[in-house]
Amino acid sequence: MTWTAEDTKQVEELGLRARAAARRMAAATPGAKDRFLSRVAELLCEREAAILAANADDVAQARAAGLDAPRLDRLTLTPAILAEMRAACLHVAEMSDPVGVTERQWQRPNGLLVGRMRVPLGVIAMIYEARPNVTVDAAILCVKAGNAVILRGGSEAVRSNRALADALRAALEDAGLPADAVQLVDTTDRAAVTALCRLDTCIDVIIPRGGEGLVRAVSEAATMPVLKHDKGVCHLYVDAGADLGQALSIVENAKTQRPGVCNALECLLVHRDEAAAFLPAVAAALGGAGVEFRACPDSLPLLGPTARPQTPEDLGQEFHDLILAVRVVDDMDAALEHIARYGSRHSEVICTRDQGRARRFLREADASMVAVNASTRFNDGGQLGLGAEIGISTSKLHAYGPMGVNELTTAKFVVLGEGQIRR
């Protein structure tokens, strides 16, 4: 298919409609937005059979095309996942509305009252791969925060996304809100992404959520600010004297519960003093679950038959599979140095009993979520109490970590005077 000037014009018109909708959304009442969220939950239930049928067609086509297992997992919708999506709608509806809230206020010597008020970002473009649940998560969060959103999902989920977008737009109309506050780019042509990236007159921020190639391509092409949901190279460090039973449970959960997601564990770092006791237990538990270890020379003899020698390419790698890099380190300094070199600012964990080292790790490990004695899998908007998330920002400007409703607003200065003039 050849991309034409007419195709570009259609994307531009979509942006203009989103800009007009964003002006109305900025003034929308909390009640109208919450009616939308409740109606989405109802429509996801009423249209469940049609949505699942559309998704089954997507999955069948993707499987026939040879899509790998991790992406098939992310593509697949089930009644349980739809139930989670409905629960997210109701949870976000119950959250306080940030728009118009003056979060700080102070008075100047001249009597001016100065404050910071939360306001919507405006028009958000969301570009993502085989994750149809993102269609709903992104829409409900953007609308709750008073924004309009343009959604461009992956070609492998086109039928699922159409079914979900139809429900979202119907819910907007039922709530008395502009249907164009949620728009789906229906074409699967990749040129549509380039066209969106150049639409800085209409789009305020663009959020890529997917593989490293997608994030890089959008970041390089975009003429508007980009909030990156980059790859998840997540580490866990087992400290000297750690509770090894607890650490084993955390490692097992972080690696095997859903190995294809961005907050799954990719590299295990173990203090030299604990390696001989801990790593054989890891081999028994995780190796038996099908995990293949990419082991450093010190860990290789301790990890059993599913271990293979580590190569340089195994470090800093997001495997999206039952594969775990393992490295024995001399101390926490070496662990922090490894994380600084190979981490992706996503999620980092320490298992320790030492409060001083725990506090130091929290300060010095550079990631959007740093945890003590807890799984990397908790770096998720729902798990952290945000209701849902539009992505996990691994860049530090504007937002760092899961982006929920509050992160989809910004703050402007508001000034109340009584005739003051500057001298």
Higher pLDDT, residue 352 or 399: 352
Q: Which of 136, 134, 138, 129 is nearest to 72 (CA)?
A: 129
Give residue-wise pLDDT tens across range 316-345.
Answer: 999 989 999 999 999 999 999 999 999 999
Contact by Cβ (8 Å): 326, 314:
no
Q: Is the pLDDT of residue 123 over 80?
A: yes
User: What separation in angstroms does the CA of 313 have from each of 260, 317, 319?
Assistant: 19, 7, 11
Contact by Cβ (8 Å): 279, 338:
no
**What is the C-alpha separation between 32 and 177, in angstroms, rounded?**
7
pTM equals 0.87
Q: pLDDT band at 388, cuts 50/70/90?
A: confident
Residue partners of 72: CB distance under 8 A and separation at least 6: 59, 62, 63, 130
Can you give the chain as a three-state secondary structure string? CCCCHHHHHHHHHHHHHHHHHHHHHHCCCHHHHHHHHHHHHHHHHHCHHHHHHHHHHHHHHHHHCCCCHHHHHHHCCCHHHHHHHHHHHHHHHHCCCCCCCEEEEEECCCCCEEEEEEEECCEEEEEECCCHHHHHHHHHHHHHCCCEEEEECCHHHHHHHHHHHHHHHHHHHHCCCCHHHEEECCCCCCHHHHHHHCCCCCCCEEEEECCHHHHHHHHHHCCCCECCECCCCEEEEECCCCCHHHHHHHHHHHHHCCCCCCCCEEEEEEEHHHHHHHHHHHHHHHHCCCCEEEECCCCHHHCHHHEEECCHHHCCCCCCCCEEEEEEECCHHHHHHHHHHHCCCCEEEEECCCHHHHHHHHHHCCCCEEEECCCHHHCCCCCCCCCCCCCEECCCCCCCEECCCHHHEEEEEEEECCCCCCC
Q: Which of 164, 50, 49 is nearest to 151 (CA)?
A: 164
Q: Is the pLDDT of residue 1 over 70?
A: no
All domains in the chain, ordered by first residue? 5-230 (3.40.605.10), 234-378 (3.40.309.10)
Say if strands 123-128 and 292-295 run parallel, antiparallel, or are unpaired: unpaired
Give residue-wise pLDDT tens across range 194-229.
Answer: 999 999 999 999 999 887 888 899 999 999 999 987
Give residue-wise pLDDT tens across range 142-159.
Answer: 999 999 999 999 999 999
Average pLDDT, the chain: 95
Give residue-wise pLDDT tens across range 398-423.
Answer: 889 999 999 999 999 999 999 999 98
Burial of 229 (0-12, 13-18, 19+ CB in 10 A): buried
Higher pLDDT, residue 414 or 395: 414
In this prediction, residue 68 carries a pLDDT of: 86
Radius of gyration in angstroms for the set of CA atoms belonging to the chain, rounded to a whole number? 23
Give residue-wise pLDDT tens across range 268-313.
Answer: 999 999 999 999 999 999 999 999 999 999 999 999 999 999 999 9
In this prediction, residue 387 carries a pLDDT of: 73
Q: pLDDT band at 52, cuts 50/70/90?
A: very high
- Residue 13: both structure tokens together: 């018109």
Instruction: Compute how many other C-beta atoms are within 10 angstroms of the C-beta atom of residue 211.
Output: 17
